[in-house]
């Protein structure tokens, strides 16, 4: 937090567990495969990685949460950084939370979504890696996730495959709107 740029302008932050596709999404939005480090090794990103989209407009790639191989102490450190960032960053206009649709929402995803809701931060929940699901599990997962999100007044949902470039226009529109572009 203390190393971030001045709290001026607009920011959209990208959050999610490790390996769900946060860095890949930034690369897709930027149309640059090498921009954000996309890694096979989970838990690699341990910084607020800030990408300036235009003057005073940033996308922030945050470290993955719920990464068990990271020490408990590091997990607690990042939890408190997340909380502080969400609660105190004036420029934080909106958050994109990404999940891997092969799995159910995890306790940590639900906790984050509910916290963002309490803080009244506009949120887009992105159910990613849709290309890896069968037609039937796609349908089931969409019903489960959409059902949960319908209880949250500040949250909308979209299903994507960053790999197959599917569903990304909703993400682009959400980012543009909240970065006032």
Ligand X SMILES: Nc1nc2c(ncn2[C@@H]2O[C@H](COP(=O)(O)OP(=O)(O)O)[C@@H](O)[C@H]2O)c(=O)[nH]1
The option from ligand X, Mg ion, none interacting with 163 (CB < 5 to 8 A, set by class) reads ligand X
| Angle, vertex CA 34, rays to CA 100 and CA 32, nearest 5 | 85
- 49 in contact with ligand X (CB under 6 A): no
178 binds ligand X (CB under 6 A): no
Show the site string, 117-156: x = touches ligand X by CB under 6 A, - = not: -----------xx-xx------------------------
Beta bridge partners of 75: none
DSSP state of 42: T
Among 17, 23, 62, 157, binds Mg ion (CB under 5 A): 23
- Does 38 bind ligand X (CB under 6 A)? Our answer is yes
99 binds ligand X (CB under 6 A): no
Q: Is 57 in the site for ligand X (CB under 6 A)?
A: no
For residue 107, the number of C-alpha atoms closer than 13 Å in the C-beta half-sphere is 2
With CB under 5 to 8 Å by kind, the binding choice for 49 among Mg ion, ligand X, none is none
* SS3 of residue 3 by DSSP: coil
Q: How far apart are CA 177 and CA 181, in angstroms?
A: 6
Q: Are 17 and 108 in contact (CB under 8 A)?
A: yes
Residue 121 · residue 86 · CB < 8 Å: yes
Choosing from 105, 162, 171, 179, the residue that interacts with ligand X (CB under 6 A) is: 162
Helices in 59-160 by DSSP H: which ranges?
72-88, 107-118, 135-149
45 near Mg ion (CB under 5 A):
yes
Q: Which residues bind Mg ion (CB under 5 A)?
A: 22-23, 45
Contact residues for ligand X, defined by CB under 6 A = 16, 18-24, 38-40, 45, 64, 128-129, 131-132, 161-163
């Amino acid at each position: 937090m203390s190393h971030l740029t001045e709290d001026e302008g607009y920011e959209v932050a990208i959050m999610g567990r490790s390996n769900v596709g946060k860095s890949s999404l930034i690369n897709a939005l930027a149309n640059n495969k090498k921009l954000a480090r996309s890694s096979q090794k989970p838990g690699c990103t341990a910084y607020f990685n800030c990408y300036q989209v235009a003057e005073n407009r940033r996308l922030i790639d945050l470290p993955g949460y719920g990464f068990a191989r990271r020490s408990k102490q590091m997990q607690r450190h990042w939890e408190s950084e997340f909380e502080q960032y969400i609660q105190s960053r004036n420029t934080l206009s909106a958050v994109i939370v990404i999940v891997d649709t092969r799995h159910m929402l995890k306790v940590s995803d639900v906790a984050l979504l509910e916290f963002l809701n309490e803080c009244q931060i506009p949120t887009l929940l992105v159910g990613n890696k849709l290309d890896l699901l069968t037609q039937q599990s796609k349908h089931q997962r969409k019903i489960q996730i959409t059902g949960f999100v319908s209880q949250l007044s500040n949250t909308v949902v979209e299903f994507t495959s960053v790999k197959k470039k599917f569903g990304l226009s909703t993400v682009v529109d959400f980012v543009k709107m909240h970065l006032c572009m």
